[in-house]
Structure 1
């Protein structure tokens, strides 16, 4: 007789990939083009900055919105779909809003519910993959492709039809995202899973281990270093002397490099381990910011720096998802993702943007902003080196 082998759930790769594509397509419309929409609506620069701050802060809160309910019930996609419905309505109301307070309110709702979707998607994807979580990058790369496609297409659309229609386009993308979510079912929750693990106290107890909070802190510092690029890179290249066509090309190189890297990330994680990939990626990130700071006027150097986005974002995010899937039980995954998005990503980007905004026009200027960001990347690398040593990490991993 042969022993029966327990098979995990069949991974709906196409459906999950489509979910990522349309979710990040929304981000591709919102992040680069919100300022253009607000400018057409008559917002002065200081108001645009305030709106961006509100959006970022709400996106830091959003990941926790459904985390407890989804971990307790196991119905992650239900809460993601509810968020998507509210998101569609918020975009429509934003288009119809005629006053500043209403516009601020609906943009805040967009940030809250847009950011509450992705922890559920990430947790469901990692639950489906199970021991094969190193293959996460091959699904997640479709999100990057969705972002890149919309970034390239939305600019000409807004030029042709008017930036005031941006909320309508985002509502359509959010509706498409909702429809794809209807096709993805939750991974069944194990009936014998201890209820104690569904409590926040269990999550916080696990969080106190040095490898776990060290990982979150390292990712926070990485996002601090990334913020100036996300917000000010376009302005920086204009100051260096590049035209809009060249700037668009350099911006497009980054997600393309990220997509290609996601294809090989799984093999690198299995061969070298997440710690080695994170260390290499953070070292490259520091080098990228130094090249951007001091040699951006050389086209070929800037090309190399932008290609480094494959490691600066692709390797770091993919490796982080891989580690979080191993460090937390399945019914704590939504909390783990929420804390990553709220603390490491959300607050990291807020801190980085505040720092960059304060120093950009000051005596230091943009070159030293990027240089400081290289320092944050190196500090993050040192934390990874110490926190994720095998003797500390191994007892915490789920196999």
Structure 2
């Protein structure tokens, strides 16, 4: 398969995979709230996903690395995770809890594996990772906006149908990528060792992602508190993701001028600013404006870490590093963020919850600022 065709299929995967996330992430908390679950319940359910990410991501990627039928393995994981959301229609506490377990166990390693494949493909082909990954952001925008319209026109239940249908489309793309034809990433004994630099980055990133979790879990509820429609919520998400797409498209030019470490610091600082402004916001227009920062708060935050793994970590350790990144940031960081945001929502309200969330991003910024000089000297940047 030519580099162009492989890049196209990887782009389609990201489009539909993040399409499912663009449906699930913004609307699952709203669905649960409309069905009588408290903020504490919502935080607990979402935390289940994060706990499983933290505990099982490395196991999932190691299993993938060893298994022969990689395509069947990943397709099955995608289908089971997305179809499992149908159990949410029961509105039963235990079945809802089970849904989140199934959803998480089957999908925790999908993105680390596909990011690793895309990153290695980028090194081989010269096609920038950001220009492939940006289609995930486009998918997120399209499906978030469209689902918001459907929710306003029908009901919140429509997000379940949309998740299942988009999941099927995501699975189909894997058939064309043919994962068995991609060289296996090899684990060595030293691949478990993380450099001190990477540990510092992971610690700061966990703190920053705690703040991002507040945003992911409760932005739509903040919009509802402002008496705005879910179409407006979808538009707010879309503006943020559009900014993310632009930065991903020009990421190669950014990294030629700014080191991943410096860009990471800037991303975390702007993420803290956004959370603080959302807490004080009293109109949807303010939310629309401030969410243009999302391109930095998440977009370049993610790209900087991926770029660090690509440029500064040995080939045999990259999939392992990718797994650590996913399990610790999207696992451990999201665990604390989901639990804390749920409790804060119940006890201090959505506004103060976002204000408190900004502290974590600002603290992460300070950690990296203190280490920046050593990092730049070490790599002669």
1:62–1:113 contact (8 Å) kept in structure 2:
no
1:200-211 equivalent positions in 2, closer than 5 A: 201-205=189-193, 207=194, 209-211=195-197
2:43–2:339 contact (8 Å) kept in structure 1:
no
Inter-CA distance 215–135: structure 2 relative to 1 (3 Å threshold): same
- Stretches of structure 1 that go unaligned for 5 or more consecutive residues are 1-8
102-111 vs 211-220, which moves further: 102-111
1:62–1:111 contact (8 Å) kept in structure 2:
no
- SS at the partner of 2:183? coil
Residue among 349, 361, 364 paired with 1:380:
364
Instruction: Kindly state the Cα deviation for residue 223 of structure 1 after the two structures are TM-superposed.
Output: 0.1
- Stretches of structure 2 that go unaligned for 5 or more consecutive residues are none
Instruction: Give TM-score scaled by structure 1 length.
Output: 0.81
1:360, 1:38 → 2: CA distance? 14
Matched, 1:255 2:241: yes
1:344-383 equivalent positions in 2, closer than 5 A: 344-362=329-347, 366-383=350-367
2:118, 2:68 → 1: CA distance? 13
Instruction: Kindly state the Cα deviation for residue 338 of structure 1 after the two structures are TM-superposed.
Output: 1.9
Corresponding residue number in structure 2 for 1:185: 178
Residue among 11, 16, 20 paired with 1:22:
16
Instruction: Kindly state the Cα deviation for residue 312 of structure 1 after the two structures are TM-superposed.
Output: 0.6
1:88–1:174 contact (8 Å) kept in structure 2:
yes
Aligned CA RMSD, in angstroms, stands at 3.2
Corresponding residue number in structure 2 for 1:198: 187
Matched, 1:307 2:292: yes
Corresponding residue number in structure 2 for 1:330: 315
- SS at the partner of 1:297? coil
The structure with the largest alpha-carbon Rg is: 1
1:339-369 CA deviation, whole Å, 9 max, x = no partner?
2111112221221232233333546x54544
Corresponding residue number in structure 1 for 2:136: 143
2:42–2:342 contact (8 Å) kept in structure 1:
no
Matched, 1:228 2:221: no
Matched, 1:86 2:74: no
Instruction: Kindly state the Cα deviation for residue 333 of structure 1 after the two structures are TM-superposed.
Output: 3.0
2:352, 2:94 → 1: CA distance? 36
Inter-CA distance 256–217: structure 2 relative to 1 (3 Å threshold): same
Instruction: Give TM-score scaled by structure 2 length.
Output: 0.85
2:148–2:231 contact (8 Å) kept in structure 1:
no
2:342, 2:15 → 1: CA distance? 31
